[in-house]
Structure 1
Amino acid sequence: MKVFLNPGHHPGVDPGAVNNEYGVQEASIVRDIGVLVARYLTYAGVEVETLQSDNLVGESPMYPEVCASANESGADLFVSIHCNSAGSAMANGTETLVFGLGGKAERAARAIQNQLVTSIDTTDRGIKERPDLIVLRHTEMPAVLVEIAFISNDSDVELLIHEQDTIARAIARGVTDYFCGEE
């Protein structure tokens, strides 16, 4: 079992969503959570490769290319980790995105979504199709993009800042739940 982890965006290059009131950037939050997810998956016996880069398919050639690296890795699952954001500070909750419903990617998304919603007690926004997202469209293995919570919502951003270990454990458990269901 091997997972390719992709904490979204790129600290110092592409901050992703930002909450200026709390002084946090998506790229930094997901980097820290990604380190923890990798640690917990490794403890569980899952091989992990991690890459955080704003170069998804060659648009920023001075950085490693995410999709090509994932496809060359031999990974059984691709997990991209993100914080959601919206114009309304009322938007909240967790959602997990897949290229299309049905199949292994949706099963992985449901396992991760269930663990996250239960562990951090967020609104369950469900599993959504997003065939337009590069990391879901250009990866060859089952791929999911986890929108942990809204960086633009006060309650959610508190979770993103203070519950990173709980979030990481939930994502790792979701991945191992998925792999256990595959056997």
Structure 2
Amino acid sequence: MAKIKVALDDGHGTETPGKRTPLFNDGSFMKENEFNEAVVKITGEFLKKYDIDVIYVASEKTDVSLKKRVDMANEKKADIYISVHANAFGDSWNDANGFETYIYSFDNSNNVKFAECIHNKCIAATGLKNRGIKAMKDFYVLKYTKMPAVLLECGFMTNKKEAELLRSYEYRKKVGNAIAEGILQYFAIDKEEVLLTIDEALNIIQKKCVFDDNTMKYLQFYKFAESMIIRLAEAMI
């Protein structure tokens, strides 16, 4: 049986004009692609544990053209296509909120089924307002892909509460894992209990406990350190 191929698209690029949050109280902001890229990587690592072939269609830091993204997915004969985004309403803080999923049309029942698998998993995992699955024929990545495709808007960058979620590792992991679980459901693959990787576990512990790099290095020197670190991180999620 041929390996399943999944095309993952982290929307925009790090330097795409205007694609960022308003300023937080400390003067900082989050670029949309920071969220998109992080989620796509989490989804990809999850899927690789199930021997799924992951195609990153926009691996460069620049804003890869929509045509190049779609062409890569089509040329590599991906089975499905997921484009990850964060939403916005205007360019200042406001109350627009929620999670929504776009498909090209409701005419293709297979695409609708795929969208439902992804969308429902994400709503359950995030707890955000359900803005539904919507048809949009103007989105290039939905119009020109030759496989079932979805574009996800995973919360509003212009809603301060949701923006704080979007820049947190915990929320990114929830979304990334939910997308992967939706993909498993779509392909009728049983989900196994898969532990975090050691790198994922170290990242969680360092952020939760605010340990410096030297402390993290010492932590890894203990006997059975890897198993302990992974289980400790799992308990922190």
Q: Does TM-score exceed 0.5, indicating one fold?
A: yes
Q: Percent identity?
A: 31
Q: Which letter maps to 1:54?
A: V
The structure that has the greater radius of gyration is: 2
Cα distance in 1 for residues equivalent to 2:17 and 2:111: 27
Dislocated runs of 4+, deviation >3 Å: none
8 Å contact kept, 2:22–2:158 = no
Q: 2:65 aligns with which of 36, 55, 67?
A: 55
TM-score (structure 2 length as normaliser):
0.69
* Aligned ranges 1:128-143 → 2 under 5 Å: 128-143=134-149
Is 1:179 the counterpart of 2:187? The answer is yes
Cα distance in 1 for residues equivalent to 2:78 and 2:56: 11
Pairwise CA distance, 1:172: 0.7
1:7 maps to: 10
- SS of the equivalent of 2:78 reads coil
Q: Which structure has the highest strand share of the two?
A: 1
Stretches of structure 2 lacking an aligned partner (at least 5 in a row): 190-237
The Cα offsets for residues 52-90 of structure 1, whole Å up to 9 and x where unpaired, read as 243112xxxxxxx11111100111001000001112711
Cα RMSD, aligned residues only: 1.5
Give the direction of change, closer, same or farther, for the CA distance of 1:146–1:16 in structure 2 (3 Å limit): farther
Cα distance in 2 for residues equivalent to 1:79 and 1:154: 26
Cα distance in 2 for residues equivalent to 1:16 and 1:70: 27
Cα distance in 2 for residues equivalent to 1:111 and 1:15: 32
1:91 maps to: 96
Cα distance in 2 for residues equivalent to 1:11 and 1:147: 17
**Could you say which structure has the greater relative contact order, defined with CA pairs below 8 angstroms and 6 or more residues apart?**
1
Pairwise CA distance, 1:47: 1.2
Cα distance in 2 for residues equivalent to 1:36 and 1:132: 28
Aligned length: 173
* Aligned ranges 1:90-129 → 2 under 5 Å: 90-101=95-106, 102-129=108-135
Compare 42-51 and 31-40 and name the one that shifted more: 42-51
2:162 maps to: 156
Cα distance in 1 for residues equivalent to 2:139 and 2:185: 25
1:20 maps to: 22
Stretches of structure 1 lacking an aligned partner (at least 5 in a row): 58-64
Cα distance in 2 for residues equivalent to 1:51 and 1:10: 12
TM-score (structure 1 length as normaliser):
0.89
Is 1:169 the counterpart of 2:172? The answer is no
Cα distance in 2 for residues equivalent to 1:83 and 1:15: 14
Cα distance in 1 for residues equivalent to 2:96 and 2:182: 24
Q: 1:73 aligns with which of 76, 79, 82?
A: 76
